[in-house]
C-alpha cells in the first residue's frame, strides 16, 4: 500500500482579492443624486436603464412607461368617467386620477389650512411641522386669538407672522426690544443683492436675471428648454409629426397638434360643451365665439372648461 502524499504547508496559499465594500450614501452615475441605502440606490438606477416596454394602446397616444403600475395609472386619463370629485365650496371639477385631484386642491384651493390660526400650506408635512412649533399646547379644533402688534396695533393670527411684521416694519424705528434682532437675508445668486423677503428676491431675479435659452444656429431665444428643442426640430431640422391614422397624410409641427387633430377628425370628439345650450365644439376658441355671439356675454374660465370626452 502506497503512502498518500502529504500537503506542503511551507508555502502560503494565495488569497482571492477582496471586493471593495461599497460605501453609502452612494451617488447615481447618471444624474448625481445621492441615496443612503442599497435598495433605494438600485431602484433609482433602474429607472435610468430600464426599457419603456409598457405602451399605452389608446388611439393617438404614444405614452410608454417602465412599470406596469405607471401605465395603469396613466390609462385612467382616457376614461370618460372621472371618479375623483373636488368637494371644495362651489367647485364640482372631476378628475380621472387621485393625484390630479390633490394637485388641483393644492393649486386652486390654497392647499391645507391650520385649524388654529388659518395659515395655509401646500404640503401636509409643512402643516404638521408648523403645528408642532407654533401651536404645541393648542387642543384640536381650538382657535388661537389674534396677536396684536404693540407698535401699530395690527393683528395677526400666526405668531410667526407677527414677529416677521415687527422685524420688517419696526426694527429701524428705534423701538425697544428690536435693536438686536437681525432679519434673515435672501441673497440673489446672480448679482449678490439681498432682500428681507424671499418673494422680493424671487421677483427681482425674474425681472433682472430672466433665464433664457438661445439657439446656436439663429440666435432665437426662449424661456424653456423644451421650447428650444421644438424650435430646432421644426425650423432647422424640418421635423414634422405625421398623423397616425391610416390613410391620413396630414403632418403637424408638434405632437400635441397631431393628437388634437386625431381626436377631432378621426375620433369625432368634441371636448368643449356649452353650459347654456348643450351644443358641443371641438375647439375652445369656437366655444368662446359661440357664447359671445349667441348668448351675448363674455365667457368665464369656468364656461370654457373641457367636458369629459363628448362624442359628436
Query: Is there a cis peptide before residue 25, judged by omega within 30 degrees of 0?
Result: yes
Q: Which three cell numbers stand for residue 242?
A: 405625421
Rounded to a whole number of angstroms, the CA Rg of the chain reads 31
Alpha helices for 76-158 (secondary structure H)? 98-108, 124-134
The DSSP result for 238-305, as a single string, is ---EE--STT---EESSHHHHHHHIIIIIS-B--EE-TTT--EESSHHHHHHHIIIII-SPPPTTTTP
Decide if 302 contacts 311 (C-beta within 8 A): no
Q: Which three cell numbers stand for residue 33?
A: 443624486
Answer left, alpha or beta for residue 278, where phi above 0 means left and psi between -120 and 50 means alpha. Answer: left
Strand partners, 95: 84
pTM of the model: 0.33
The pLDDT of residue 144:
65
Vertex 29: Cα angle to 23 and 33 (nearest 5): 75
pLDDT per residue as tens digits for the range 25-70 = 888 888 888 888 888 888 888 878 888 888 888 877 888 888 888 8
pLDDT per residue as tens digits for the range 166-178 = 666 666 554 444 4
The pLDDT of residue 50:
80
Cα gap 163→169, rounded to integer Å: 10
Q: What number of other Cβ atoms are within 10 A of residue 116's Cβ? A: 19
Vertex 198: Cα angle to 196 and 201 (nearest 5): 85
Strand partners, 113: 120
b/e map 255-268, b = 16+ CB within 10 Å: eeebbbbbbbebee
Please report, in tens digits, the pLDDT of each residue of the chain (312 residues total).
Answer: 566 666 666 666 666 677 777 888 888 888 888 888 888 888 888 878 888 888 888 877 888 888 888 888 888 777 766 777 777 666 778 887 778 887 777 677 666 677 666 666 666 677 777 777 766 777 766 666 667 776 677 777 666 677 777 666 666 554 444 445 555 678 888 888 888 777 888 888 888 888 788 888 888 888 888 888 888 888 888 777 888 888 888 888 888 888 888 888 888 888 888 888 888 888 888 888 998 888 888 888 888 887 755 555
Q: What is the largest CA-CA distance in the chain?
A: 118
The pLDDT of residue 4:
66
Cα gap 145→222, rounded to integer Å: 49
The pLDDT of residue 176:
46
Helix (H, G, I), strand (E, B) or coil at 187: strand
Which residue reads 433609482 in cell numbers?
44
Which residue reads 389650512 in cell numbers?
113
Q: Which contiguous run of DSSP H or E holds residue 103? A: helix 98-108
What single DSSP character describes residue 219? -
Amino acid at each position: 500500500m502506497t503512502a498518500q502524499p502529504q500537503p506542503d504547508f511551507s508555502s502560503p496559499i494565495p488569497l482571492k482579492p477582496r471586493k471593495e465594500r461599497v460605501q453609502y450614501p452612494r451617488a447615481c452615475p447618471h444624474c448625481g443624486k445621492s441615496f443612503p441605502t442599497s435598495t433605494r440606490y438600485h431602484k433609482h438606477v433602474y429607472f435610468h436603464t430600464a426599457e419603456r416596454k409598457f405602451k399605452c394602446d389608446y388611439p393617438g397616444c404614444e405614452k410608454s412607461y417602465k412599470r406596469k403600475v405607471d401605465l395603469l395609472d396613466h390609462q385612467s386619463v382616457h376614461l370618460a368617467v372621472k371618479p375623483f370629485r373636488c368637494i371644495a365650496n362651489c367647485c364640482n371639477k372631476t378628475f380621472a386620477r387621485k393625484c390630479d385631484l390633490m394637485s388641483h386642491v393644492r393649486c386652486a384651493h390654497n392647499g391645507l389650512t391650520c385649524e388654529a390660526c388659518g395659515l395655509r400650506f401646500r404640503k401636509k408635512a409643512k402643516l404638521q411641522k408648523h403645528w408642532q412649533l407654533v401651536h404645541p399646547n393648542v387642543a384640536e379644533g381650538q382657535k388661537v386669538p389674534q396677536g396684536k402688534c404693540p407698535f401699530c396695533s395690527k393683528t395677526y393670527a400666526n405668531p410667526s407672522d407677527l414677529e416677521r411684521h415687527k422685524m420688517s416694519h419696526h426694527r429701524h424705528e428705534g423701538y425697544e426690544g428690536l435693536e438686536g434682532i437681525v432679519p434673515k437675508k435672501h441673497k440673489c445668486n446672480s448679482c449678490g443683492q439681498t432682500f428681507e423677503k424671499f418673494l422680493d428676491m424671487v421677483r427681482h431675479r425674474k425681472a433682472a436675471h430672466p433665464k433664457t435659452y438661445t439657439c446656436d444656429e439663429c440666435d432665437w431665444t426662449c424661456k424653456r428648454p423644451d421650447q428650444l428643442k421644438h424650435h430646432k426640430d421644426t425650423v432647422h431640422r424640418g421635423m414634422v409629426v405625421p398623423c397616425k391614422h391610416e390613410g391620413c397624410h396630414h403632418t403637424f409641427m408638434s405632437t400635441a397638434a397631431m393628437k388634437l387633430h386625431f381626436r377631432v377628425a378621426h375620433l369625432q370628439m368634441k371636448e368643449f360643451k356649452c353650459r347654456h345650450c348643450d351644443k358641443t365644439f371641438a375647439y375652445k376658441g369656437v366655444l368662446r365665439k359661440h357664447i359671445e355671439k349667441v348668448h351675448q356675454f363674455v365667457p368665464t374660465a369656468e364656461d370654457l372648461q373641457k367636458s369629459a370626452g363628448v362624442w359628436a
